[in-house]
Amino acid sequence: MIQEITNGISNAIYKAFPAYPIELEPIEQEFQSGSFLITFATVIEKQLMDNRYYRRYPAEIMYIPKENADEPVAEMQSVQEKLMDALEYITVKGDLVRGINRKAVIVDDVLSVSVDYDLHVIKTKPTDPLIESLINKESVSI
């Protein structure tokens, strides 16, 4: 499911910023300036009923301004505005999923946007063979 959400986020970013590269895995040193990096640190799951589960996928999208930007803070603020709107709704498996708890922070010349996507999941139960017969021997002592 993380891959489908990552694809949805990538598509939403690409629609808003078609000229910017999107990276899905951090490179050893640093990712290139003027690009987006999508990461998932944790996934939260809670069982609701039987085989129904609630999952929260907190995503973090980072952006470093272009190296030749005249005003990097202004560029990050502009990207932040468009990115917050782009991440409100993403498409996952053909359905719209709303991003909640969207938050943007600029620290050390890096724009970091976090957003949570909540989904309900139905897990398939394993189909174990049924017991064909059961012999039960009981006795009562008086």
Q: Please name the amino acid found at residue 21.
A: P
Of residues 128 and 41, which shows the higher confidence score?
A: 41
Closest CA to 61 of 92, 82, 91: 82
**Cα 76–Cα 81–Cα 86 angle in degrees, nearest 5:** 115
Task: Look at residue 124 in the predicted model and tell me its pLDDT.
Answer: 85
At 29, is the pLDDT very low, low, confident or very high (cuts 50, 70, 90)? low
> Residue 134 pLDDT > 80, yes or no?
no
**Cα 60–Cα 111–Cα 59 angle in degrees, nearest 5:** 5
> Residues for the chain: how many in total?
142
At 27, is the pLDDT very low, low, confident or very high (cuts 50, 70, 90)? low
Quick one: tokens of 103? 């938050």
At 75, is the pLDDT very low, low, confident or very high (cuts 50, 70, 90)? confident
